[in-house]
Amino acid sequence: MSGHTDNHIVINAPMDLVWDMTNDIESWPQLFTEYSEATVLERREGAIRFRLALHPDENGIVWSWISDRMPDKDTRTVRSLRVETGPFKYMFLYWEYLPVDGGVRMRWVQDFEMKPQAPIDDVGMTARLNTNSAAQLAIIRDKIEAAAASLATR
């Protein structure tokens, strides 16, 4: 069995602003509410290796992991995978940016499988990721649209 999520949102902002803000990994703690830390570890041809850390959970545990991110500005797509998988057997992510009426449709697709010993199964993690992705996408939309409005008044 495996998990799959596919979420999107339309952001009323210029494509370059959406692309730049969502691919500036160092600023993710200001863009996402779930991350306490985002540290780029290495940049190499077409790929960025980085560590993300969440805010402490209800038990005070800070979950973190390392991922590789491969942005392709020409196709406005990003592929990413967790290198340190934690409770996941694997985790692959795909981001897609499409111009649409009203702005940019930003889409996140996540494909994964939980390890047998993980505290949650594929179905439970799918539900958790779908809930969290919708919330984070709305927050990101609001922050990027605010930045676009601020730039427009300059």
Which tens digit of pLDDT belongs to each residue from 5-44?
A: 999 999 999 999 999 999 999 999 999 999 999 999 999 9
Give the bridge partners for 36, in sequence order: none
DSSP class of residue 146 equals: H
- Which residue, among 58, 83, 59, 73, has the nearest Cα to 24 in the 3D structure? 73
**Ordered domains of the chain (ranges, CATH):** 3-24+71-152 (3.30.530.20)
Helical residues (DSSP H) of the chain, grouped into ranges: 15-22, 28-31, 122-152
Amino acid 153: pLDDT: 87
pLDDT score of 105 more than 90: yes
Can you point out the beta strands (E) in 12-143? 35-44, 47-54, 64-72, 77-82, 88-100, 103-114
Across the chain, what does the average pLDDT equal?
96
**Phi/psi of residue 15, nearest 5 degrees:** -55, -50
Give the mean model confidence (pLDDT) for residues 103-130: 96
Would you call 35 exposed, middle or buried from its count of C-beta atoms within 10 A (0-12, 13-18, 19+)?
middle
Amino acid 31: pLDDT: 97
Q: Give the pTM.
A: 0.93
pLDDT score of 152 more than 90: no
Which pLDDT band holds residue 50 (cuts at 50, 70, 90)? very high
- Which residue, among 86, 92, 88, has the nearest Cα to 114 in the 3D structure? 88
Amino acid 86: pLDDT: 87
pLDDT tens per residue, range 123-142 = 999 999 999 999 999 999 99
